[in-house]
Amino acid sequence: MGEFHIKDEVSPLRTVILGRADSPGPPPKPGECYDPKSLQHVLEGTYPKEEDMVREIEGFREALEKHGVQVLRPAPLENVNQIFARDLGFVIDDTFVRSNILPRRAREYEAIEGLLKSVNPKKIIQPPPDVHIEGGDVILWDDYIFVGTYRLPDYPRMITARTNARAVEWLQEAFPRKKVIAFDLKKSNVDPYENALHLDCVFQPVGKGHAIVHKDGFIYEDQYKEIEKIFGPENLFHIDKQEMYDMTANIFSIRPDLAVTDKHFTRLNRWLNDIGVQTEEISYREIAKQEGLLRCSTLPLYREN
């Protein structure tokens, strides 16, 4: 591969790590769930089966490879859920940032470490231990780094709060040429309709200057107004609470004019087609039961500009 290179969410994708769904282990117990949607399905007995998740993620792989994307996979780990590669890190410009993720998930990073070091080990950095951050909370757009966070006093009790105030400060220190904009997200450990697990669950740029957004996912309206100011209100596709729950914002762009989406997102897919974005539509309903979707399953390493 040779180098890392990511400057935005839509430039033509060349290389990506895609999670894997084989051998995820038994369904978690209620006290082991990381998010309220997984908890809901555990309690209702509808938590996804391994064979269904494997079928869905392999369909995603086929859609990516169909369009010439190099798809890398983590090393297999027995009885470990490895679907959501996005949490493990992110690339900004030519630098890979290793996330400080939940300690129980540390083995997931070990499964991709060899892939990353084969690109350029000198361009892999890790923030200090007091910086809590996950890749789903980091979105790039030109000179902006949009970062989802949670800065209320009950942060230590919120397992759904993955990126802290120190992470916002560190990103600005580490990438001084970028403009870092923080978005405080609504969190709930028990209600998936009131929980924005990551920024990419309520906001994502797409196409040529458009974005998907769930206005009610932000604690402060003035922060949402920043999105309006940058993208223009006429270029925003607003999703409601049910669509947020369904993970409608969490699609994945291969190019500015091509995105992989869930075929159940009929309203979104019509809008994407109307603004000139072709849709590669697959089914991801079972994986969605874990409060993650297409962007969550990917870790892009190289996009062309």
The verdict on residue 87 lying in a domain is: yes
Statement: residue 1 has pLDDT above 60: no
Q: Which residues contact 271 (CB under 8 A, 6 or more apart)?
A: 237
- Answer for the pair 202, 196: CB distance below 8 angstroms, yes or no: yes
**What's the rounded Cα separation, in Å, for the pair 64 and 67?**
6
The verdict on residue 142 lying in a domain is: yes
The verdict on residue 4 lying in a domain is: no
What confidence tens digit (pLDDT) does each residue in 182-239 have?
A: 999 999 999 999 999 999 999 999 999 999 999 999 999 999 999 999 999 999 999 9
Domain count, the chain: 1
The verdict on residue 27 lying in a domain is: yes
In this predicted structure, what is the pLDDT of residue 250? 98
> How many C-beta atoms surround the C-beta of residue 40 within 10 A?
20
Q: Which domain CATH number covers 139?
A: 3.75.10.10
**What's the rounded Cα separation, in Å, for the pair 144 and 245?**
26
In the structure, what pLDDT confidence band is assigned to residue 103 with cuts at 50, 70 and 90? confident
The verdict on residue 3 lying in a domain is: no
What confidence tens digit (pLDDT) does each residue in 57-102 have?
A: 999 999 999 999 999 999 999 999 999 999 999 999 999 999 988 7
The DSSP secondary structure of the chain, one letter per residue, reads ----BB-SSSSPEEEEEE-B-SS--SPPPGGG-SSHHHHHHHHHT-PPPHHHHHHHHHHHHHHHHHTT-EEE-PPP-TT--B--GGGGEEEEBTEEEE-B--GGGHHHHHHHHHHHHTT-GGGEE---TT--B-GGGEEEETTEEEEEE--STTGGG-TT--S-HHHHHHHHHH-TTSEEEEEEBP--SS-GGG---SGGGTEEEETTTEEEE-GGGBS-HHHHHHHHHHH-GGGEEE--HHHHHTTTT--EEEETTEEEEETT-HHHHHHHHHTT-EEEEE--TTGGGGS--TGGGEEEEEE--
Q: Model-level pTM?
A: 0.96
> Which of 24-33, 234-243, 249-258 has the lowest average pLDDT?
24-33
The verdict on residue 73 lying in a domain is: yes
The verdict on residue 2 lying in a domain is: no
**What's the rounded Cα separation, in Å, for the pair 201 and 146?**
13
What is the span of the domain harbouring residue 93? Answer: 13-303
| Mean predicted lDDT score pLDDT of the chain | 96
The DSSP bridge partners found for residue 144 are 141, 179
